[in-house]
């Protein structure tokens, strides 16, 4: 366990901000088309494990590919909103590595037949983070769904289905 000195507190705050930025940067990317903020939360190479959510296997990609992956995943929605828990659990492995668990509620909005729809996922994120020259960055992300609510078509949209 790390000594809880000033550097510990600074790292803890930086990781808290990184986890909040993960979700807010997706929302920003959807709203503006600028996905550079989301790419910036990651290390240059990362493992994205959305297998519990999307099926398949974890993927090893660049941060730029992650930004494109996020853009495509939310492209069918008019808006998205990530509400990440303000209390997260950080387990420091050493001075430059930690594992973070955070819960999030992510609302996805779309229109169907002129009627506003919502699909929401409640999930636990596990992030393996490392301290780099750029600051703390996510090296691996695991998304573990806990609950879904709303129009289930939203899940199909995330998985790539589109209406004709």
Tens of pLDDT, residue by residue over 134-156, are: 999 999 999 999 999 999 999 89
Decide if pLDDT at 2 tops 80.
no
Which candidate, 22, 26, 57, places its Cα nearest to that of 43? Answer: 22
pTM, two decimal places: 0.92
Confidence of residue 164 (pLDDT cuts 50, 70, 90): low
Q: Hey, is 80 helix, strand or coil?
A: strand
The pLDDT tens digits of the residues spanning 29-81 come to 999 999 999 999 999 999 999 999 888 999 999 999 999 999 999 999 999 99
Two tokens, residue 33: 């088309």
- Tell me the fold of 6-158: Nuclear Transport Factor 2; Chain: A, (3.10.450)
Beta-carbon contacts of 18 under 8 Å, excluding residues fewer than 6 positions away, are: 41, 127, 129, 135, 136, 137, 138
């Amino acid at each position: 366990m790390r000594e809880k000195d000033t550097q510990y507190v600074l790292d803890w705050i930086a990781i808290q901000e990184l986890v909040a930025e993960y979700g807010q940067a997706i929302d920003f990317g959807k709203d503006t088309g600028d996905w550079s903020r989301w790419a910036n939360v990651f290390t240059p190479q990362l493992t994205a494990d959305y297998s519990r959510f999307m099926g398949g296997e974890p993927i090893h990609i660049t941060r730029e590919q992650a930004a494109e992956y996020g853009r495509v995943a939310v492209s069918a929605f008019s808006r998205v909103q990530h509400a990440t828990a303000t209390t997260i659990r950080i387990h420091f492995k050493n001075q430059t590595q930690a594992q973070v668990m955070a819960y999030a509620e992510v609302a996805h909005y779309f229109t169907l037949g002129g009627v506003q729809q919502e699909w929401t996922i409640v999930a636990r994120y596990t992030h393996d983070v490392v301290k780099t020259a750029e600051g703390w960055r996510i090296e691996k992300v695991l998304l573990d769904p806990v609950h879904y609510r709303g129009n289930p078509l939203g899940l199909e949209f995330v998985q790539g289905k589109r209406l004709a």
